[in-house]
Homo-oligomer: A and B are copies of this chain.
């Protein structure tokens, strides 16, 4: 590759990123059905045909947005867990992961939001191709709950698998109703969720399980 080629490539990478950003925004705000190549091209001031220089198909573009979204969320949660040091309290780890995931889907911009909003609305081809990434993130959560259960911190009468899916469901649904302007910020949502999940809604003075 020549000097020019290398510099050009850098510029091409920037354009590529702008396209991805626009696609993520449209996917997050309007959903897959309304995300047309033309809409994305308009957002980056291009003709729709030109996008095919950067991506070989719409599916490839969407898939990369989703992959980046999962990667971002996973990295955020993993980093938050790392901050707890070695061998943390399992319930504290769970709380941390809940807050970090809430922050990711509500406060980290379009990529994670595009991810959760379009989960399940995608054509089978895209959904299947993306499942492998989602799977790895799921494993992280499976590990958290398994650790909590194994150490006896988890109530014995609950199903860890169902808990994982219900918790992530509540958080993944949150972008549907969350509005950044009013009331609670993403971290507070996560803390509220963690409070409910870990200790329940029942007030101490009426306690009596």
Residues of A whose CB lies within 8 Å of any CB of B are 31-34, 91, 94, 117, 119-121, 123, 148, 152-159, 161-163, 165-174, 176-177, 183-184, 189, 192-193, 195-206, 209
Which B residues lie within 8 Å of A169 (CB)? 169-174, 176-177
Task: Indicate if the CB atoms of A33 and B121 lie closer than 8 Å.
Answer: yes
Which B residues lie within 8 Å of A32 (CB)? 33, 121
Chain A interface helix/strand/loop/mixed: helix
Task: Indicate if the CB atoms of A163 and B196 lie closer than 8 Å.
Answer: yes
Rounded to whole angstroms, the CA-CA distance of A176 and B131 in the bound complex is 13
Rounded to whole angstroms, the CA-CA distance of A205 and B171 in the bound complex is 28
Rounded to whole angstroms, the CA-CA distance of A189 and B155 in the bound complex is 16
Rounded to whole angstroms, the CA-CA distance of A200 and B196 in the bound complex is 6
